[in-house]
Structure 1
Amino acid sequence: MHYAELKQAWSELTAPGQPFEIEEIEVRGNTIRNFKHAPPNIRAVWLSTVAFADRDYLVYDDERITYGQAHTRVNAIAAWLWAEGVRPGDRVAIAMRNYPEWMLLYWACVCIGVAAVGMNAWWVTEELEYALKDSSPKVVFCDEERLARILERPAMAEGARLVVTRMEGPPEGVLPFSEVLVRGGDMPDVQVDPDADACIFYTSGTTGFPKGAQLTHRGCVANLMNMGFSGQVQGLATLRANGIDPASVPAPNPPVALLTTPLFHVTANNCGAYAVTAGGGKMVLMYKWDAGEALRLIEKEKVSAMSGVPVMSREVLTHPDFATTDTSSLLSLGGGGAQLQPDLVAKIDKEVATARPNTGYGMTETCGIITSIAADFFVDKPESCGPAMPTFEARCVDDDGQTVPPGHVGELWVKGAPVIKGYLNRPDATAESITNGWLHTGDVARIDEDGFIFIVDRKKDMVLRGGENVYCAEVEATAYRHPAVAECCVFGVPDDRLGEEVGAAVLLRPGHTLTADELRAHCAALAARHKAPRYVWFLDEAIPRNASGKFLKRALRESLKVEDAG
């Protein structure tokens, strides 16, 4: 394999004077790695795309928006926000599906130093209320579905201006998005601090409340450059290993990406949307995931990359229409948000003639990717997620925070420019997760002799369902709100399609009755539906615990059978 060539290419691309030169700087009292020649903020990234004015940018159903049209609309949104008194340091919430407006609003916010707060569109009213009160946005941009939830409890958006998109005749006091655009205007001239909050994305909390991760401009730009570096370094190493002169290879066409996951996640936004936009490419959006529709769009729009969770790639390959669909435009296929199973890596490499498998491992707390791996390297090490990108230091530690020897297993800690500032209004959670700039990923890993990282387990107690983190404590807290539940222990159950499903072992209170469907309906009414347990076991005796009183989840997983679940 090409590991010697990879090491050489890595050294060359990050050397002094090169585009990916690394420097050490001090941020928030910690010395971190950063790209010396990075754009100062996301505003600079977006403004640079005005050069692509005539190209298609956003495609949604029959709608097509060019870069020139997008800049006109982004300028109008930014001018409207400024006229409304929204200033750097303020927050604006975006609560909607993956409509084109999502991206236009995002760029407008970051260009004037305002934090874009991504609201999880799957949230029920109670969850939406928590996040809106926590983030206190000056303006809430929403679609009709999210507006209905807000109007159930209007106090959740108290003090915020409500703007709704794609709704005829909105209720009194709610401004239609068209009125924001019709005013027009120029982009305000604003100096944006690299370490200001660019966006706030919520992650599920082990206490039952989501945490607002504060992603900075510096972190988001570093993530964009890490992705660009990954493609260049692995491509350069592969060309050289195969005796091909890199100078003889023509420049690639602008990317065409099909975004299949929600823009309130870093997978779609910071990784998918950023990369396409910076490269002057075309972004194809979907109303909701459907493998057959994805195949139709791949053929129609000549999609070169599909961004999503791994199960989506698997569903595309196994769809009845796959064999009769022209997928020859695809150059990469894979996913993030969950690990690609080794068999899927091989299937992608074999069944899509033009595409190579790729993946990245990362977190909301790192503004996107920590590692990246693709093509020959991924085929050679299908169980790895790749090496840590240049702006990261990475180490595996034991329970005392001491670094374990190379090749040994420990919790993965990372440090660098992409690590978040912290959690909004949660200094306790920030202190628990970040030590002297080192982020505790919660993932148990090992690092091999080539610097490639292998995730082997999760230290955090969560279920990874189709790329969505579902924290067990959050589901347990919801279940306990049912009067019939005496004890509840939630854990992950392996699932071929989604990776894991939510399972719950339940002990009922004496004299109470409850069915699995009733418990699921109860949970779905209080939290997003995907958090409701798919499998429910009702026990006749207390759930086994260890000496400290914690449930023995491993024992439960081993003793309970899926066929016995309700």
Structure 2
Amino acid sequence: MTESVTDTADTAAADYPRPERLTGRRWSQTQVSGWIDVAARRCPDRACLVTPERSLTFAEVLGHVRALASALQRRGLRAGERVAILDTDSPEYIETILAVLKLGAVIVPLNYRLAPGEIETLLRAAEATWIVVGERYVPAVLEMAPRLDYLHGVVGFDGTPGTLAYTDLLSEGAGGELVEARVEEEDILALAFTSGTTGLPKGVMQSQRMWKHITSNSMLEYRFTWDEFRYSGSPLFHVAGMNQVLKAICRGSTSLLLRQWDPAALLPWFRRGLTGVFLVPTMLSALLDQPGVSREDFAALRSMYYGAAPMSPALLRRAMDLMDVDFFNGFGAGTEAGMQSVLTPEDHRRALAGQTHLLGSVGRPGHDIDLRIVDDDGSELPPGEVGEIVTRSDMTMSGYAGQPEKTAGTFSDGWFSGGDLGHLDEEGYLYLDGRKSDMIIRGGENVYPPEIEEVLGVHPGVAECAVVGRPDDYWGEIVEAHLVPAPGAVLDPEELAGFCRARLARYKVPERYRLHDDPLPKNAAGKVLRRVLRELP
């Protein structure tokens, strides 16, 4: 039976939901939290999440999600509250995300590589009311918990003493009543932090609209099909890693989850049917360096996705010689603006056929993405001229939580600027030319020099310091610290490294320390000339 709806004022709203254009609401007709329900109805017995120890079907994952959501709802978790997750990758991590979203609460994924002080700063900034944590991180969380005013629940994935056991919550909520929240398109699903500094970190507000468009765009551009079995080397706290698994759930395909990146542990899974992987260049290099690796290992593989850091042409050619698959390169500001450009398999084949310059490109703008190169005044530049990369799409963030000035500085008339520099060629291919900011990308991880300089600056033997990135064949970039000793001080690089390791995540600790007898080079305004430091031999 079909019904007709008119625009007349006497339409009975009680009998038929009024269209969005009449009510002004942007209710979502489909929700991210409902993707698991749809998949479980369509393919209940298909493997959803696979680990070396077990395999969970879509029906099993949905059962766990609903039980966990019911238990948390019964214990008082409400829409809009923020739930932090701190652990390595696991099925429970994904189940927690989906359960929290069913209640209309907000996920706060935390980088497990951060130092305890950095994690405490982020929990405080997020005003998290719950934290779900893995065994390895429980002692640090329990130590800081009394200082966190908003926190009133700590769930332990492994049931560690002092936490509420995850399995107990599943038992408590099994078969219980669950009232799911109805989420609008601009409601916030996640708060993802771009930094772990002891200052004011930037919390990126990610809406349902953003997540849905990132998922649909990447499924289209990366040619994602339902019969896939895929792995992402990007951890779940990264938007890239989380999106890879949510995309599979939306599509009804299977995901491999390993606790942490381990090339030796991953290699056998290619022979067990992996059809697609996402790796950053350092991971791809480590995989190809495994003893005995051969072309036969990748017989089932269909696609290789890489991104998040620069890839050397030599490494890419080596991979393409060993893997007869479709290669994709994706570029973007994932946390804040999703995908921006894609280098397709056809582009890679053109490169192998002689147009090798394409391997230096990050492709052309993806579906429904408007990309321009602009000068400092915002005027569009012609092909060949270097300027700032700006984009406009439905994959952009809603802003930085509690930081309207930073948000306003990132958007201009709807255009997002991530501070990257680049140029377009005559065919519309994008080439990167560095960053306006001084951010360092080390092995796919963003490193911000000011937070390292803040740590080094309190060392009693340091008078001046500046941190820059150095090109590196393995990591893409490494962190290099330039230091001027305080009068009479003798700086020891090993001692400096230990000083930093006690206060920073390991990937932020400088690999190189360069000592200067004279003050660091500065401009007329007194700012350190990082460009000069980067150009030093």
Q: Same fold (TM over 0.5)?
A: yes
Paired position in structure 1 for 2:66: 75
The one of 30, 38, 59 aligned to 2:50 = 59
Q: Which region of structure 1 is more displaced relative to structure 2, 94-103 or 286-295?
A: 286-295
Paired position in structure 2 for 1:176: 165
Amino acid at match of 1:331: R
Paired position in structure 1 for 2:420: 443
Amino acid at match of 1:91: R
Question: Are positions 1:320 and 2:291 aligned together?
Answer: yes
Question: Are positions 1:357 and 2:327 aligned together?
Answer: yes
Question: How far does the alpha carbon of each residue in 1:213-232 deviate from its partner, in whole angstroms, 9 at most, with x for none?
Answer: 11110011001111122145
TM-score after normalising by structure 1: 0.84
Question: How far does the alpha carbon of each residue in 1:495-522 deviate from its partner, in whole angstroms, 9 at most, with x for none?
Answer: 1111011001101110222211111111
* Partner Cα distance (2:102, 2:46) in 1: 21
The one of 264, 270, 276 aligned to 2:237 = 264
Q: Which region of structure 1 is more displaced relative to structure 2, 511-520 or 42-51?
A: 42-51
Aligned alpha-carbon RMSD (Å): 2.3
Question: Are positions 1:48 and 2:25 aligned together?
Answer: no
1:368-379 to 2 correspondence within 5 Å?
368-379=338-349
In the alignment, structure 2 segments of 5+ residues that lack a partner are: 1-19, 351-357
* Cα distance change, pair 187–360 in 1 and its aligned pair in 2 (3 A): farther
Amino acid at match of 2:139: A
Paired position in structure 1 for 2:153: 162
The answer (yes or no) to whether the contact 2:442–2:477 under 8 Å persists in 1 is yes
Amino acid at match of 1:152: E
Displacement of 1:471 after TM fit?
Answer: 0.8
The number of residue pairs the alignment matches comes to: 504
Paired position in structure 2 for 1:476: 453
* Partner Cα distance (2:483, 2:474) in 1: 25
SS in 2 for 1:295: helix
Displacement of 1:207 after TM fit?
Answer: 8.6
The answer (yes or no) to whether the contact 1:490–1:505 under 8 Å persists in 2 is yes
Percent identical among aligned pairs is: 29
Question: How far does the alpha carbon of each residue in 1:379-398 deviate from its partner, in whole angstroms, 9 at most, with x for none?
Answer: 43222222222332211111
Question: How far does the alpha carbon of each residue in 1:504-556 deviate from its partner, in whole angstroms, 9 at most, with x for none?
Answer: 11011102222111111111111111101000011111111122212122222
* Partner Cα distance (1:77, 1:266) in 2: 23
* Cα distance change, pair 156–335 in 1 and its aligned pair in 2 (3 A): farther
The one of 464, 486, 491 aligned to 1:487 = 464
The answer (yes or no) to whether the contact 1:258–1:298 under 8 Å persists in 2 is no
In the alignment, structure 1 segments of 5+ residues that lack a partner are: 1-24, 27-35, 236-251, 561-566
* Partner Cα distance (2:371, 2:146) in 1: 44
* Partner Cα distance (1:545, 1:48) in 2: 59
The one of 426, 431, 447 aligned to 2:408 = 431
Paired position in structure 1 for 2:80: 89
The answer (yes or no) to whether the contact 2:44–2:59 under 8 Å persists in 1 is yes
The answer (yes or no) to whether the contact 2:420–2:435 under 8 Å persists in 1 is yes
Amino acid at match of 1:255: E
* Partner Cα distance (2:47, 2:178) in 1: 21
The answer (yes or no) to whether the contact 1:202–1:212 under 8 Å persists in 2 is yes
Paired position in structure 1 for 2:442: 465
Paired position in structure 2 for 1:119: 110
The answer (yes or no) to whether the contact 2:73–2:178 under 8 Å persists in 1 is no
Amino acid at match of 2:165: P
* Cα distance change, pair 455–323 in 1 and its aligned pair in 2 (3 A): same
* Partner Cα distance (2:214, 2:54) in 1: 29
The answer (yes or no) to whether the contact 1:502–1:534 under 8 Å persists in 2 is yes
Question: Are positions 1:544 and 2:516 aligned together?
Answer: no
* Cα distance change, pair 88–391 in 1 and its aligned pair in 2 (3 A): farther
Question: Are positions 1:399 and 2:372 aligned together?
Answer: no
Question: How far does the alpha carbon of each residue in 1:184-227 deviate from its partner, in whole angstroms, 9 at most, with x for none?
Answer: 13542321111111111110279954311111100110011111
* Partner Cα distance (2:271, 2:494) in 1: 40
* Partner Cα distance (2:384, 2:228) in 1: 37
Displacement of 1:421 after TM fit?
Answer: 0.4
Paired position in structure 2 for 1:297: 269
The answer (yes or no) to whether the contact 2:210–2:395 under 8 Å persists in 1 is yes
Displacement of 1:152 after TM fit?
Answer: 2.5
* Partner Cα distance (1:217, 1:472) in 2: 32
Q: Which has the higher contact order (CA 8 A, sep 6+)?
A: 1
Amino acid at match of 2:305: G
Q: Which region of structure 1 is more displaced relative to structure 2, 96-105 or 390-399?
A: 390-399
* Partner Cα distance (2:178, 2:254) in 1: 23
SS in 2 for 1:476: helix
The answer (yes or no) to whether the contact 2:421–2:436 under 8 Å persists in 1 is yes
Question: How far does the alpha carbon of each residue in 1:455-474 deviate from its partner, in whole angstroms, 9 at most, with x for none?
Answer: 22111111110000101111
* Partner Cα distance (2:312, 2:177) in 1: 48
The one of 281, 288, 296 aligned to 1:310 = 281
